Amino acid sequence: MTTNGHRKNATVWIQRFNPDFDRRPYLQPYSITARQGMTLLDALHEIKTHQDGSVTFRRSCRHAICGSCGMNVNGRNVLVCESPLKDHLDGKGRVTIRPLPFLPIIKDLVVDRAKFWEHYRQIKPWLLPPDDLPEREFRVSPEEVKALCNAEKCIMCGLCYSACQVVALNKGYIGPHALLKAFLRTLDPRDSAPGERLDIVADLTGVWRCHTIFNCIDACPKSLDPTYAIETLRNLAARRLAFEEERRERQARFGEPVEVGPPVRMEPTARVESPVQTGQRIT
């Protein structure tokens, strides 16, 4: 240990798998110098640049907004670009990086996300505006925005999908990411087809497959709450016709001024019960 408390050397175990040569995945250790402020992504770049150019992984923005760099580090799904190296080293300075679980491996740390995207498209992830558009803008109140629970902040990183035990059992399950987005569209007052959306998700591969395991909330780097979204969709599915009627009435009032009450505090999203030491959560 150095005087400023940082280990000098770190051992990064990376799961390798080349489908052309390997029969099964295996872990390979790499030794690097842990510099101040290094993230796991920096460590991976260090290894790829100076030690082993064949190490393969996805990354892009390096500041937790593109959703490309999701990996399984020491058993937890994280974005490696926002994960400080020192926070993930054990007492002996080791960290293990594996690809996201339960998804087919293309190579090393890169997984096949085709099913993830297919399920996302299934829920019609776009706004379906009403036929008569208001003369000017859609007027939506701060309370109505708050009810969306920041679901639009989802960066489609796949950490929740890959952490879900139901996804592990059943690739037909739509997944927490799609259900969160379905929630976002269903609750949006500007959307004119909530009933149709509820029909898509209130189905045996949709909301009824969720077993409230909560791994999705624990994994989300944006502290979003797919379980809350799924429970809301379940409750709405039970009163679908009434909800559709409420939406029609609401949409008839788009031209009217919105009553602005006292300022609505946009609270942080799902409360994190035992925050993992991954540095600042970006919300």
Task: Give me the residues that bind another protein (CB under 8 A), please.
Answer: 72, 75-77, 101, 163, 165-166, 168-172, 202, 204-205, 208-209, 211-215, 217-218, 225, 227-228, 231-232, 234-235, 237-238, 270-271, 273-274
Residue 217 Cβ vs another protein, minimum distance, rounded to whole Å: 6
Residue 73 Cβ vs another protein, minimum distance, rounded to whole Å: 12
CA distances from residue 280 to 83, 84, 223, 241 in whole angstroms, order as listed: 9, 9, 12, 43
Residue 163 Cβ vs another protein, minimum distance, rounded to whole Å: 5
The span from the CA of 195 to the CA of 237, in Å, is 8
User: Between residues 153 and 234, which has the closer beta carbon with respect to another protein?
Assistant: 234
The encoded tokens of residue 102 equal: 């339960």
User: Between residues 6 and 234, which has the closer beta carbon with respect to another protein?
Assistant: 234
Beta bridge partners of residue 38, listed in sequence order = none
The span from the CA of 17 to the CA of 110, in Å, is 10
User: Between residues 65 and 105, which has the closer beta carbon with respect to another protein?
Assistant: 105
Rounded to a whole number of angstroms, the distance between the first and last alpha carbons of the chain is 33
Residue 75 Cβ vs another protein, minimum distance, rounded to whole Å: 6
At 124, give phi and psi (nearest 5°). Answer: 55, 70
Residue 58 Cβ vs another protein, minimum distance, rounded to whole Å: 20
Residue 141 Cβ vs another protein, minimum distance, rounded to whole Å: 21
User: Between residues 18 and 165, which has the closer beta carbon with respect to another protein?
Assistant: 165
Residues 6+ apart with CB under 8 A from 81: 39, 40, 41, 59, 61, 62, 63, 64, 69
The span from the CA of 81 to the CA of 110, in Å, is 15
Query: CA 58, 59, 65 angle in degrees (round to 5)?
Result: 130
User: Between residues 124 and 171, which has the closer beta carbon with respect to another protein?
Assistant: 171
User: Between residues 76 and 94, which has the closer beta carbon with respect to another protein?
Assistant: 76
